[in-house]
Amino acid sequence: MARVYNFSAGPAVLPEEVLREAADEMLDYRGCGMSVMEMSHRSKPFAAIMEAAEQDIRDLMDIPDNYRVLFLQGGASTQFAMIPMNLMKNKVADYIVSGSWSKKAFKEAKIFGDARCVASSEDENFSYVPDVRALQLSDDADYVYICQNETIYGTVYHELPNTNGKPLVADVSSCFLSEPMDVSKYGLIYGGVQKNVGPAGVTIVIIRDDLVSEPLPGTPTMLRYDTHVDAKSLYNTPPAYGIYMCGKVFQWLKAQGGLEAMKERNVEKAQLLYDFLDQSALFKGTARKEDRSIMNVPFVTGSDELDAKFVAEAKKVGIESIKGHRSVGGMRASIYNAMPREGVEALVRFMGEFERENA
Ligand SMILES: *Cc1c(COP(=O)(O)O)cnc(C)c1O
């Protein structure tokens, strides 16, 4: 068996130990005589899986007691609508648009009320995070929205906006569990798990109690946070197997030393790649230095032809899915929690060889 180094932005690499454990339990989950995939979501073994998963993510992120954790479906994109439907009481919300994902969320919110773009970095193809110290927020805004790590452009907030007491809502899809975060600074945190946490199909929402309330009139039952809070994410059939896999990843993260340890490792891995990019005569990172993400690293050679050649040759040596998103072009290395340091070392080594042969 030969596993490649998978730099895909998502669905993305998962820890090998987790995949092996899931494979071992595939036909018979701990003496149940069936796979978790075949199990009632109301059964005792599944209830235990769900309970452990919630407790483990609470432990990992140190989630305060006045926050609920929901395991939902519909991807991060469904949250683009669920957030305004449930939170936009005054029908006003402030959005910081720092990339394609926050732009999509902003556009969706406009369906439900007066969503206002209070800062944007679109003028320079989202290569930086707007200055959050100079924000003019709306007095009557129900919340302030950010996408904390922009997966496509490889930028991250190193400082959170001061929201003057308004709930901060953050899409953390591509930086979930990559480092510790102070949950109490947010009203709502959410992410699709297929980037850094688990298989596609699960969206985790962490919401402060006081924000779980009557939504806008006409909100469908499935799109109300209170539905899922009241039913503890079991209003209908949850994405059961995906939750089980997320639970395994939480256990793996605990065994790795938790989020402080992950951060240290993630920073080291990213530094390896950025150090190479900063001295390279051929490759160039596309995000502004101060705002660079430790999860997604976009880079280009400046020549579409060389970019394509790089992607093709990389694939031959087991460096997979390194092609950049079409809106940036070039390459993107997504170096999530489960990407081993050796993977980044192999990439940097290959980039060096490619540079010598093609510069
Ligand atoms: C991938 C991604 C999304 C979209 O996720 P889906 O689960 O496909 O809807 C939203 N936001 C960010 C930051 C992402 O990386």
- The pTM of the whole model exceeds 0.95: yes
The count of C-alpha atoms lying within 13 angstroms of the C-alpha of 6, restricted to the half-sphere facing its C-beta, is 16
Task: Find the mean pLDDT for residues 13-23.
Answer: 98
pLDDT tens-place string over residues 52-77: 999 999 999 999 999 999 999 999 99
Indicate if 17-255 has the same CATH topology as 7-15+257-357.
Answer: no
Instruction: State the chain's mean pLDDT as an integer.
Output: 97
Domain 17-255 belongs to what architecture? 3-Layer(aba) Sandwich (3.40)
Q: What tokens does 293 get?
A: 């993400």
**Which H or E element spans position 243?**
helix 240-255
Domain range summary for the chain, segments of one domain joined by + = 7-15+257-357, 17-255
Predicted confidence (pLDDT) at residue 187 exceeds the cutoff of 70: yes
Task: Find the mean pLDDT for residues 254-278.
Answer: 98
- Give the pLDDT of residue 296: 98
Active site residue 171: yes
Task: Find the mean pLDDT for residues 244-250.
Answer: 98
- Give the pLDDT of residue 2: 86
- Report CA(38)–ligand 1 centroid distance (Å): 28
Residue 1: pLDDT band by 50, 70, 90 thresholds? low
Active site residue 230: no
Task: Find the mean pLDDT for residues 155-182.
Answer: 97
Residue 126: pLDDT band by 50, 70, 90 thresholds? very high
Percent of the chain with pLDDT over 70: 100
Task: Find the mean pLDDT for residues 155-164.
Answer: 95
**Considering just the CA atoms, what is the radius of gyration of the chain in Å?**
21
Residue 208: pLDDT band by 50, 70, 90 thresholds? very high
- Does 116 carry a binding-site annotation? no
φ, ψ dihedrals at 93, nearest 5°: -150, 145
- Confirm if 68 and 62 have CB atoms less than 8 A apart: no
pLDDT tens-place string over residues 331-357: 999 999 999 999 999 999 999 999 999
Residue ID of nearest Cα to ligand 1 atom 13: 173
pLDDT tens-place string over residues 216-246: 999 999 999 999 999 999 999 999 999 999 9
Exposure letters 138-167 (e unless 16+ CB within 10 A, then b): eeebbbbbbbbbbbbbbbbbeebbebeebb
Residue 327: pLDDT band by 50, 70, 90 thresholds? confident
Task: Find the mean pLDDT for residues 187-204.
Answer: 98
Residue 134: pLDDT band by 50, 70, 90 thresholds? confident
CA distance 93 to 113: 8
- Report CA(197)–ligand 1 centroid distance (Å): 13
Angle formed at CA 248 by CA 243 and CA 250, multiple of 5 degrees: 90
Predicted confidence (pLDDT) at residue 359 exceeds the cutoff of 90: no
- Report CA(10)–ligand 1 centroid distance (Å): 9
Residue linked to tokens 């992607």? 311
| CATH class of this structure's domain 7-15+257-357 | alpha beta
DSSP helix, strand, coil percent of the chain (3-state; round to 5)? 40, 15, 45
Q: Which atom of ligand 1 is nearest to the CA of 148?
A: 13
Q: Which residues line ligand 1 (CB under 6 A)?
A: 10, 75-77, 101, 147, 151, 171, 173-174, 192, 195
Choosing from 94, 142, 166, 195, the catalytic residue is 195
